[in-house]
Structure 1
Amino acid sequence: MSTELINRITVKKDGVYVSSHSSNDTSPYHSWRCRGLSEIYDAEGQKGLDREVVRMLYEYAELRGSHKSLARYRYAKDAPAAHAIYKEYMDKIDDRYEGLDEADKKSVWYKPTEKAKEYRAYERDMRDKMYSEIAERCGEYDRKQKNKEMERVVSESP
């Protein structure tokens, strides 16, 4: 299974562009318009985009390089607070799974029982909440950067 390696995420007038390549591919990074992220950005704005990028980073992608567009996602995902949020939600998901009987556990991914379907819906909901909570840290990063910029401008003023 490959991982999508991302070295830039750019919002343009016509959509969201991702510069990436697959970990099992030797070709160079290439920039492409991501239809899914573009649709989410159009519908939900920056918060929705942040949530979906965080989802990608937990499920199948990694950040590479030092482009400034990646800093906010690194900040959101790599901080101790993000690890605590992740643990909290994963513990809830694990507890729900452990509460299933053996027949339901065996059916979670193949011909699920009603209880297994309920578990999968719960897991999806918890993951959505977790990714949203972690993605909120992107806004925190933006505010800190804005404050640093304001402090720099004030200190340079005569």
Structure 2
Amino acid sequence: MSTELINRITVKKDGVYVSSHSSNDTAPFHSWRCKGLSEVYAAEGQKGLDREVIRMLYEYAELRGSHKSLERYRYAKDAPEAHAIYRRYSDQIDDRYESMEEADKKSVWYKPTEKAKEYRAYEREMRNRMYEEISARCGEYDRKHKNRDMER
């Protein structure tokens, strides 16, 4: 399974561009318009974009390099506060899973029972909340750096 390596995220007039390549590909980084991120940005603005980038970083992507556009996402994801948020939500998801009957656990990914479907909906909701909470740290990063820039 490959990981998407991202070295730049740029918002332009016509959408959101990501410079990336796959971890199992030797080709150089290339910039492309990301339709999904562009749609989220158009509908929800920066907060929605931040949430979806954080989702990508937890599910299938990693940041590479030191481009300025990545700093806010590193700040949001790599801080001890983000790790605590992740642990809190992961523990809640794990607790819900462990409370299920063995037959329901076995069916989570194949022919799910009603309880397994409820668990998957719960897990999805908790992950969405987690990504939302962690991505809010991007706004915190922006505020800190705006204040720092104003002091100069």
TM-score, normalised via structure 1 length? 0.96
Q: CA RMSD in A?
A: 0.3
In 1, the alpha carbon distance for the partners of 2:70 and 2:37 equals 15
State the percentage of identical aligned residues.
Answer: 84
In 1, the alpha carbon distance for the partners of 2:126 and 2:72 equals 23
Give CA-to-partner distance per residue, 1:58-107, whole Å, 9 cap, x none. Answer: 00000000000000000000000000000000000000000010000000
**4+ residue runs of structure 1 moved beyond 2 angstroms?**
none
Give CA-to-partner distance per residue, 1:7-30, whole Å, 9 cap, x none. Answer: 000000000000000000000000
Q: What SS does structure 1 have at the residue aligned with 2:21?
A: strand
In 2, the alpha carbon distance for the partners of 1:94 and 1:60 equals 20
Instruction: Note if 1:83 corresponds to 2:83.
Output: yes
Match of 2:115 in 1: 115
What is the number of equivalent residue pairs in this alignment? 152
Unmatched segments (≥5 aa) in structure 1? 153-158
Q: What code does the residue aligned with 2:24 have?
A: N
Q: What SS does structure 1 have at the residue aligned with 2:7?
A: strand
In 2, the alpha carbon distance for the partners of 1:37 and 1:136 equals 17
In 1, the alpha carbon distance for the partners of 2:103 and 2:48 equals 37
Q: What code does the residue aligned with 1:33 have?
A: R
Match of 2:36 in 1: 36
| Mapping for residues 1-158 of structure 1, pairs under 5 Å | 1-152=1-152
In 1, the alpha carbon distance for the partners of 2:148 and 2:135 equals 21
Q: What code does the residue aligned with 1:100 have?
A: M
Unmatched segments (≥5 aa) in structure 2? none
TM-score, normalised via structure 2 length? 1.00
Q: What code does the residue aligned with 1:62 have?
A: E
In 2, the alpha carbon distance for the partners of 1:24 and 1:131 equals 26
Report the alpha carbon displacement of residue 114 of structure 1 after superposing the two structures with TM.
0.2
Match of 1:156 in 2: none
Q: Which has the larger radius of gyration?
A: 1
